Amino acid sequence: MSLIQYHESSLLKRFYYSKFLYLNTIIIMALASFFIFASTTTTTLADAQNATNTNSTEINKLLETATNLYNQQKYDEAMQ
């Protein structure tokens, strides 16, 4: 094997290795972006669920208070 053939072979190996590293970097970055997006979305959905539970609890309390006041008003009217 002559020096020129070795040099060309070495250049091809470097080219393929750099291409391999480039593709690996793209794949790793894509996966990292997906995991960050997925964790952010999951956290956002969990927060939205907690807010919904809080709002439904507050709505239930308001409905209970309204029902009690309505019943009290009807009782007062019946007593008069």
Q: Please give the pLDDT value at position 29.
A: 95
Q: Per-residue pLDDT for 7 more than 70?
A: no
Q: Please give the pLDDT value at position 45.
A: 74
Q: Please give the pLDDT value at position 70.
A: 93
**Higher pLDDT pick, 53 / 21:** 21
Task: With cut-offs at 50, 70 and 90, classify the pLDDT of residue 17.
Answer: confident
How far apart, in whole angstroms, are the C-alpha atoms of residue 72 and residue 46?
39
How far apart, in whole angstroms, are the C-alpha atoms of residue 51 and residue 30?
31
The structure's pTM equals 0.45
- Gyration radius (Cα) of the chain, Å: 34
